[in-house]
Amino acid sequence: MTKRQEIEERCLEVQALKGSGMKVVEIALVYGVSERTIWNYLKRAQELFRRTARNLEQEEILGETLKTLERIRTQAWRHFHLCPEENAIKVGYLNATLKATEKFIQLCQGVGALAKVPDRLTIEEGLPFADPEIRRDYLTLLKKARSRGVKIPGL
Amino acid sequence: MDTPMLRTGLDAREIMRLVEHYRAEGFADSEELLDFVEAFWGLRIPRVKVCPEHTPPAEYVTAAFFEEVQNSVCWANRGGGKTLNGALATWLDAVFKPGCETKILGGSLEQSQKMYSHIKERFATPPFIPLVKGEMLKTHTKMVGDGSIQILTASSKSVRGPHPQKLKLDEVDEMDPEIYEAALFIPQTAKNIKAGIQIYSTMHKAYGLMNRVISEAAQSGYRIFKWCILDVLEKCEGRDCYTCALLDDCGGRARNADGFIKIEDAITKKRMASREAWNSEALCLMPSQEGLIYKEFDISVHVVGNEEMG
């Protein structure tokens, strides 16, 4: 490790100690240097942070965020399917899936990767609710279950 | 029951899909809306017309939701479900009309909170929670799609603010007339949702604000939805009319009722209350004269023009 690298590392350590709540005078005692030296280290640490920020690639940040959202969405969707009971937790997972998808789409739209955002998100499998008869029967089923004291998930 | 229905069963995902379907496509008719309310919240709103001159509460809920009427007044009995129906109409608007904003103003902050707490505790059930942005706060809720519900304190400062599409005024008979006047300027049509004012109250003050609202309803363009205790009474079965304490008021009409108030409760209330209070609070017949110095005063009898004085 070169002298320069050693100093840079020291600067970051000092910055971390300051961030943890230690006073400059206490940090100076730890390293056995003057308070003025510690202030110089802190100044240099900030310059280092600024340089790092300048070097960050926008695409890289965007890619990381999209990857994170995709990971949240996939995991929440998986947990939703694995949830054995029909309860609020299961609904929560579904909620998290929908929210992560929504954020994903918003982000894509924000950077121009998506031309049009869907007005609402729907899950296509399941009963064909477009059929009025199915809807009527389903509502009747819910009412009947309610009147007989059957526990309906989420209701 | 249909085979796919049994196969799919009552799972949370299907329930949320049904909600999404209604959000996208709307309800086919009033019956479907009322069935949805009953299935999702276990709330059976009385649908039968019991008194010929009154309207059943279900008619108000559907007219408000389908915007058949912009401004309306619900003049109903105590415990007749005015606040609950108001809360339901507010929640239905918030959920199924993206971008619909509502402000609730009560005769007091407590009254406003009552309607809001009905929404929070009774209607904001798990299938609808994903539609709430963040959490439901103490005084307001933001919805996905930029809708919102907010309660106002009964002060002139709070009624001067942004302009949502819907305004609910609960218990106007208890409201300061100045605040009421200022509140009328709140609603404004936006995002294809019509502006509307919905008022809910009993009329228990002879010369109170509700009396004025009702007298000027036709001129102001308010449609009146009026129901009394008989319209929300449970179905009367197996009782002998001639020994029933409600015979004078009911005249057997409760045989067709489908409401929720127990007949026994109605009888107890009638026995305990004075005739005037029963008439105004339960039957919505006329405002109570109680508390007035000249109870018998009647403008039509006791006020004459100069020419009649000779």
Residue B125: what are its φ and ψ, rounded to 5°?
Answer: -85, 165
Percent of chain B with pLDDT over 90: 64
Judge whether B25 is closer than 8 Å to chain A, CB to CB: yes
Looking at residue B2, what is its pLDDT? Answer: 45
In this prediction, residue B1 carries a pLDDT of 46
3-state class (DSSP) for residue B248: helix
Query: For residue B243, what pLDDT is reported?
Result: 92
Are the C-beta atoms of residues B57 and B81 closer than 8 Å to each other?
Answer: yes
Copy the structure tokens of residue A122.
């729907």
Please list, residue by residue across B123-162, b when 16 or more beta carbons sit within 10 angstroms of its beta carbon and e when fewer do: bbebbbbbbbeeebeeeebbbbbebbbbbbebeeebbeee
Q: What is the ipTM of this complex?
A: 0.80
CB contact under 8 A, A91 and B5: no
Element at B150 (helix H, strand E): strand B148-152
Does residue A121 register a pLDDT over 60?
no
CA angle B278, B281, B284 (to 5 degrees): 95
**A154 vs B21, B24, B126: nearest CB:** B126
Number of domains chain A is built from: 2
Nearest-Cα distance to chain A for B122, in Å, is 10
Domain boundary among A28, A55, A82: A55
> Cβ separation of B21 and A129 shorter than 8 Å?
yes
Q: Are A96 and A136 found together in one domain?
A: yes
Backbone dihedral angles phi then psi of residue B62, each to the nearest 5 degrees: -70, -40
A138 inside 8 A of chain B by CB: yes
**Co-location of A14 and A48 in the same domain:** yes
Domain-embedded: residue A154: no
Q: Give the pLDDT confidence score for residue B135 in this predicted structure.
A: 86
Cβ(B14)–Cβ(A133) below 8 Å: no
Cβ pair A137:B36 closer than 8 A: no
Same domain, A72 and A134: yes
Closest CA to B36 of B22, B56, B54: B22
Residues of B in contact with A105 (CB under 8 A): none
Mutate which of A87, A121, A129 to test chain B, going by most B C-beta atoms within 10 A? A129
Q: Give the number of residues written for chain B.
A: 310
Q: What tokens appear for A20 in the block?
A: 């943890």
pTM for the complete prediction?
0.69
Which residues of chain B make contact with A137, given a CB cutoff of 8 A?
1-2, 5
B303 vs A: CB within 8 A: no
Q: How confident is the model at residue B30 (pLDDT cuts 50, 70, 90)?
A: very high
Confidence of residue B186 (pLDDT cuts 50, 70, 90): very high
Give tens-digit pLDDT for B270-292.
999 998 889 989 999 866 555 56
Pair A81, A131 in one domain: yes
When the pLDDT of each residue in chain B is averaged and rounded to a whole number, the result is 88
pLDDT at B226 > cutoff 90: yes
DSSP per residue, chain A: --HHHHHHHHHHHHHHHHHTT--HHHHHHHHT--HHHHHHHHHHHHHHHHHHHHH--HHHHHHHHHHHHHHHHHHHHHHHHH--S-SHHHHHHHHHHHHHHHHHHHHHHHTTS-S---SS----SSS-TTSHHHHHHHHHHHHHHHHTTPPPTT-
At residue B8, the pLDDT reads 52
pLDDT at B299: 61
Q: How far apart are CA A116 and CA A90, in angstroms?
A: 30
Q: CA nearest A7: which of A52, A29, A51, A37?
A: A37
Full domain range(s) for residue A98? 58-147
A69/A137 same-domain check: yes
pLDDT computed for residue A19 by the predictor? 82
Q: Are residues A79 and A100 in the same domain?
A: yes
Paired tokens of A155: 């209701």
Query: Measured between CB atoms, does B181 come within 8 Å of chain A?
Result: no
pLDDT of residue B162: 85
Give which of B3, B6, B7, B15 to mutate to test A binding, by max A Cβ within 10 Å.
B15
Annotated domain spans of chain B:
47-229
For B221: left if phi > 0, alpha if psi spans -120 to 50, otherwise beta; the answer is: left
- For the packed helices A88-110 and A58-82, what is the interaxial angle rounded to 10 degrees? 160
pLDDT (0 to 100) of residue B223: 94
CATH superfamily, domain B47-229, is P-loop containing nucleotide triphosphate hydrolases (3.40.50.300)
Report pLDDT for A50: 82
**Confidence label for A2 from pLDDT (cuts 50, 70 and 90):** confident
Among partner residues A98, A99, A139, which is closest to B36 by beta-carbon distance? A139
* pLDDT tens-digit map of B111-137: 889 999 999 999 999 889 889 988 899
A146 touches chain B (CB under 8 A): yes
